[in-house]
């Protein structure tokens, strides 16, 4: 009798695990199929493409990867050696493990060093979390020094501390696209009511980790707890391709000339027809993100009349 019960339990265990694996497999298959845009671009070593911005003692280079840390002494960050006027920018990131409330890991483009009173910025910000919450990814766009950003927030469909994931920005004269693992999560078109507030000045690429206790996790309800420090983020697989602008020519006008002496209109394929609009697959994927994972958009704030682009999209 004991043998029969044991055999019955074993069969049930096998069936349960098979069903569980099937459910997990189906969940993975529910991710929208998209082309791997990142595969079109070569990888640049971190040490070749970027330099130390601040917090040198909290930066550890490890072959083709680098760790940036936040501890009681402060955060750390890197910036690109070149400045760009449009391009494709991507990195693989793994966020700090454990309780990371108040910690912000950012990957972004900015020109605040040159245009101090009217800077532009395109942001990925991974917002640290307390023990029971989902990871939040915020994207944002500042234009001409606007004191109010155009934020959107999504809940990620994976734990970004377990594995490396790709975060990419495509920026050209047609549109700005934020992508996670090649899935578009946001598109900003340079058209219609949005054209009056579109990023058109050269920018530098940055990645930083810092203490955002006053706002990052549940509006500042959960500040950074340094008993869990150091908070270590890892990054690699850097991909940068675009129009390089000489630092000696900044600030510049709209008719920027690239370092290869090609005008923007004659720039390589990042400006070409293949990058002017989202494909049907990419549009389907973007709609999936909006439907399943988007939970905050700047268009839903009370003073939405300040955002003309929120109407008619």
Is 14 within a domain?
Answer: no
Residues with pLDDT less than 50, the chain: 3-4, 9-10, 13-16, 18-29, 248, 253-255, 260-267, 313
Structure tokens at 266: 């004659």
Query: Count of domains in the chain?
Result: 1
Coil, strand, or helix at residue 68? strand
Run of H or E including 153: strand 152-155
| Beta-bridge partner residues of 165 | 93
DSSP-assigned beta bridge partners for residue 167 = 91, 180
- The pTM (predicted TM-score) of the whole model is 0.85
CATH number, domain containing residue 110: 2.60.120.200
Position 58 in a domain = yes
Convert the pLDDT of each residue in 57-94 to its tens digit.
999 998 889 999 999 999 999 999 999 989 999 999 99
**Does residue 172 sit within a domain?**
yes
pLDDT at 1: 53
Domain assignment of residue 7, yes or no: no
Q: Is residue 2 part of a domain?
A: no
Catalytic residue numbers read 121, 125
The 10 Å Cβ neighbour count of residue 257 is 15
Does any domain span residue 239? yes
The answer to whether 35 and 58 have CB atoms below 8 angstroms apart is no
| Residue 15 falls inside a structural domain | no
> What are the pLDDT digits (tens) for 262-310?
444 444 568 888 899 999 999 999 999 999 999 999 887 655 555 666 7
In a domain, 18, yes or no: no
Q: Are strands 121-127 and 136-142 parallel, antiparallel or unpaired?
A: antiparallel
Residue 78's nearest CA partner among 100, 110, 103 is 110
Structural domain span for residue 57:
37-310
Q: What is the pLDDT of residue 303?
A: 57
């Amino acid at each position: 009798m004991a043998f029969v019960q044991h055999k019955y339990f074993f069969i049930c265990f096998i069936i349960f695990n098979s069903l569980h694996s099937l459910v997990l497999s189906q969940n993975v298959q529910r991710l929208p199929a998209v082309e791997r845009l990142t595969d079109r671009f070569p990888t640049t070593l971190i040490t070749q493409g970027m330099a130390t911005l601040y917090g040198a003692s909290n930066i550890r280079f490890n072959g083709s990867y680098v760790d940036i840390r936040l501890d009681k002494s402060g955060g750390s960050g890197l910036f690109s050696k070149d400045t760009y006027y449009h391009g494709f920018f991507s990195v693989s990131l793994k966020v700090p493990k454990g309780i990371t409330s108040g910690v912000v890991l950012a990957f972004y483009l900015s020109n605040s060093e040159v245009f101090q009173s009217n800077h532009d910025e395109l942001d990925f910000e991974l917002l640290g979390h307390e023990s029971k919450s989902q990871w939040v990814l915020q994207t944002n766009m500042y234009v001409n020094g606007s004191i109010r950003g155009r934020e959107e927030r999504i809940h990620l469909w994976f734990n970004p501390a377990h594995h490396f994931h790709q975060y990419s920005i495509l920026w050209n004269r047609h549109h700005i696209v934020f992508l996670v693992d090649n899935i578009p999560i946001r598109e900003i078109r340079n058209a219609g009511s949005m054209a009056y507030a579109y990023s058109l000045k050269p920018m530098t690429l940055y990645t930083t980790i810092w203490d955002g206790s006053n706002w990052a996790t549940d509006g500042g309800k959960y500040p950074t707890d340094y008993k869990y420090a150091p908070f270590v983020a890892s990054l690699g697989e850097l991909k940068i391709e675009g129009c390089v602008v000489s630092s000696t020519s900044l600030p510049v006008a709209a008719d920027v000339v690239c370092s290869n002496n090609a005008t923007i209109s004659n720039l390589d394929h990042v400006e070409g027809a293949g990058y002017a609009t989202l494909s049907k697959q990419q549009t389907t994927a973007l709609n999936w993100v909006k439907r399943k994972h988007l939970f905050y958009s700047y268009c839903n704030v009370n003073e939405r009349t300040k955002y003309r682009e929120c109407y008619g999209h």
